[in-house]
């Protein structure tokens, strides 16, 4: 997985991200979300796009990890 430095933070993030909308409870059950998160991590993705409008995606992400 290619990585880039995020602005001036010095953090290296994957060029591809996991969309938090698709792991929120209203779009997927927890087991599906967990599998998606773990697969993304296996592929080298370390950047997840979350936002309040996505519902509980941050909570689901935390439980999955």
Cβ atoms of residues 23 and 37 within 8 Å: yes
CA 55 – CA 61 distance, rounded (Å): 12
Q: Rounded to the nearest 5°, which phi and psi values hold at 45?
A: -75, 125
Say whether 47 is catalytic: no
Which residue among the candidates 33, 54, 57, 61 is catalytic per the annotation? Answer: 54
Active site amino acids:
54
């Amino acid at each position: 997985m290619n990585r880039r430095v995020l602005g001036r933070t010095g953090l290296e993030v994957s060029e591809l991200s996991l969309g938090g909308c698709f792991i929120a409870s209203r779009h997927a059950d927890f087991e599906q979300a967990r599998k998606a998160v773990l697969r993304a991590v296996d592929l080298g993705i370390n950047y997840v796009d979350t936002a309040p409008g996505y519902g509980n995606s941050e909570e689901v992400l935390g439980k999955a990890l």
